[in-house]
Chains A and B, each alone.
Chain A
C-alpha cells in the first residue's frame, strides 16, 4: 500500500501561488490592464517558457481580450495580470487598451461612436 498523499489542489490558491511565484498584483505596464484590453503576441513561444506564458502567446496570435483569455485559461483576472506583466515586460506581447469615448485631451470621439453605431445597425 502506498503512503497517503496530500490532496492536490489544481484549481485553487496553491496553483495560483505557483503560477505567479507568489506575486499577487501586477506592477508596471500591466497595472492598467482592463478586462477589455486586447492582447496580441509579438513573438512565438520560446523553448523552456512557463506553460501558461506559452499558452497566452499561442492564443493571442490574433488579438484576444484579457477577459476571454481568463475565461479560456480558467484564471482569475488578477492572476492573469501577473502573467501578462511578465510577457509585457519581456516585449513578447502587446496590450491595446479599450478606446474610451473621450480620448485624453481630445474631446469626445464622434467618429468612433459613428463607427460603433453603423456596426450595430448592420446586426
Chain B
C-alpha cells in the first residue's frame, strides 16, 4: 500500500489494521449496553441508521409523509486485540423487529453473545430465534442481577431450548473481567465449531 505523504510515526502497523465484529443481542433491559460499556477500551459510542419501510428511492430523504422512517441506534465499543486487529462490539437495538431491516447487521460477525435475564427468560426468546435463523454462532450469557435466583444451568438450557453444544455462562455485565470472560467463552466456542468442521469426514 502506498502511504506517501502520510505519517504514521512509530506505528507502521496501522497501515494493515483489520477489524472483527461481535454482536451483543438479548431482550430489552438485559444489559447489552452495560456489557459494551464495561469491556470497551473507548467510551461507548452510538451510531444510527435511518430505516425506511418502503423501498428506498431518491425521494424518501425529503420526508415524504406516507413512508415510515425509523431511527435505530446501535451502541458500540471496541477492544484493541493487538497492533493490527481491533474487535468491535455492537449492542443490537432492543426492538428485534428492526434487526431484519438493518441489512447485514449480523453479516460478517464472528458470532454473538445473547444476554439473558433469568428473571425474564422470555425477553430473550426472540434474540435466540433470530441468531438461529440467521445462522450466527452464539453463547448464552446469564446476566446475574442482584435479586436473581440461582437456577441450575440445565434448567435454563431446557427452558430456552438451547442445544447441548451451545455454551451457557453466568456473568455480571457491569464487570469488565466478567464480560471479557464471556467473550473468551464465545471465541472458544467458535474454535471448537471450527475444529469440528475441519475434521476429515
Contact = CB atoms under 8 A, between A and B. Distances in A.
A51 B94 CA distance: 34
B177 to A, nearest CB: 8
B20 A36 contact: yes
Given A38-B19, A67-B76, A98-B21, A13 B63 contact: yes
Main secondary structure of the interface of B (DSSP, over half): mixed
Contacts, number: 162
A104 B5 CA distance: 34
Contacts of B17: 38, 62-63, 96
Interface residues of A, number: 53
A108 interface: yes
Main secondary structure of the interface of A (DSSP, over half): mixed
Interface in A1-56: 13-14, 16-17, 20, 22-25, 34-38, 40-42, 44
Is the interface on chain B under 10, 10 to 19, 20 to 34, or 35 or more residues? 35 or more
Interface string B109-132: 111000000000000000000000
A100 interface: yes
Contacts of B184: 117, 120-121
Interface of A: 13-14, 16-17, 20, 22-25, 34-38, 40-42, 44, 61-63, 65-68, 70-72, 76-79, 94, 96-101, 107-110, 112-117, 119-121, 123
